[in-house]
Structure 1
Amino acid sequence: MSSTKYTLDRIEDGYAVFLKYPDEEEEHLVELVSLTQPVQVGDRVLITGEHLEILHEETAQKRAAMQNLMARLRKKRQHFE
């Protein structure tokens, strides 16, 4: 059985909407009631059949990279004000 990585994009109308990693163009919907563990927007997960595993280390790295990018953009913006 193959495994695929996804990123949780949003929760909408009772569904978790995952985007296939890395392109994040293909959507995969999962009913919230079928999830066995809580997920947050931005979580990177591995889905194998009906099993979902949160990839905590990848999620943390991604969040850190986004925070660094936002800090750099804020600093750049302050420079131009």
Structure 2
Amino acid sequence: MSLTKYTLDRIEDGYAVFLKYPEEEEQIIILQSAMNKPIQVGDRVQIEETDGIYHIEILKEETEQKKAEIRSLMDRLRRKNQ
């Protein structure tokens, strides 16, 4: 697997479900114990698989930018519904 960007969508029964960025139509499912570090739902990451171990690099800047966009959208929706 080459380096590809994904977003962690959810964790279910010990598996992490990632959606390929940016379309988020393709997904990969990785056993949490096969990952080299813990991550949180919503994190944008790059993933590289080597010998059955998934090396994950958290893209902190992209993750923070996306979270800020979501907060802004949620604020606008809240104000609209008041």
Greater share of helix: 1
Number of residue-to-residue matches in the alignment: 78
TM-score (norm 2): 0.89
Which ranges of structure 1 fall in alignment gaps of 5 or more residues?
Answer: none
Which ranges of structure 2 fall in alignment gaps of 5 or more residues?
Answer: none
Give CA-to-partner distance per residue, 1:31-68, whole Å, 9 cap, x none. Answer: 11112211110000001223211101100000000000
Moved over 6 A (4+): none
Q: Paired residue for 1:34?
A: 34
Choose 1 or 2 for highest CA Rg: 1
CA deviation after TM superposition for structure 1 residue 2, in Å: 2.2
> What does 1:2-81 align with in structure 2 at a 5 Å threshold?
2-49=2-49, 50-78=54-82
Report the RMSD for the aligned CA atoms in angstroms: 1.1
Q: Percent identity?
A: 63
TM-score (norm 1): 0.90
